[in-house]
Amino acid sequence: MFTIRPYSEEDRDEVNRILEEVYYPEEPLTRANNLSPEPALASAVLPQGHSYIAASLDGKIVGLALNDEPPQVFPTIYTNDKEDVKFREMFAYMENVSGVLEAAPGAMEVRMMAVDGGWRGRGVATALLDAARKAAQDAGCPYIKLYCTSNHSSRLMSKLGWKLQYSMDYRDYLAHRPSAIVLPPEPHLRCNLYIDTVAGVNTQLQNHTDMCQSISIKQTSEVVHSATN
């Protein structure tokens, strides 16, 4: 059994533990490129109040979904150094060519999602995504989006019925835009962008002027970039 609750200041150390022990070692791009955890992300999104954690009955955090309203407050992707530039360029390219800003204006983004290995297959990731959707609804965001660099998380999103907005083969990207990015191993050779509408929010608002306003250039994520399976 587990519970889903908002991420609070008291959870910061445990959230950073999940990032260090689960997300960075298992998310395909961070693992292939030997990246170290960047705890600043968890701190940056905390004040927004949109992120959630999954906790076992004894209080141990076993999963997380760090959610970010636009314009994203954390401009880097994985690290706070020059190594991050190549990832920013890749996701900026993907956001621009995918048409996501037109298809899902003002979308809440699931920046990072991870579930402890011992808790996978129990519905934790699905529950965290449900909580993220509720956060988007409460914030007035008409859409929610997620970048999947993991083949496992992509399968989950397809199973849950999210729309595949764009799929990019890393090999095609590197063939046309030389980069120092190290390719993940099979089967994680694509980054897939999924979107979904948020019930109860007017999706016809193309110029949302509340806190979920549309932005012109991707400044964030793999984001997911998730390690859920």
Token pair for 204:
């016809």
- Beta-bridged to residue 65, according to DSSP, are 52, 113
- Show pLDDT as tens, one digit a residue, over the chain (229 residues): 999 999 999 999 999 999 999 999 999 999 999 998 887 878 888 999 999 999 999 999 999 999 999 887 667 889 888 989 999 999 999 999 999 999 999 999 999 999 999 999 999 999 999 999 999 999 999 999 999 999 999 999 999 999 999 999 999 999 999 999 999 999 999 999 999 999 888 765 444 334 443 322 233 333 355 555 4
Residue 105's φ and ψ, nearest 5 degrees, are -65, 140
Q: Which domain holds residue 124?
A: 2-227
What's the pTM?
Answer: 0.87
Contact between 132 and 68 (Cβ < 8 Å): no
Domains of the chain: total: 1
Residue 61's φ and ψ, nearest 5 degrees, are -75, 125
CATH number at residue 117: 3.40.630.30
Q: Which residues contact 63 (CB under 8 A, 6 or more apart)?
A: 2, 18, 53, 54, 113, 114, 115, 116, 119, 124, 125, 128, 228
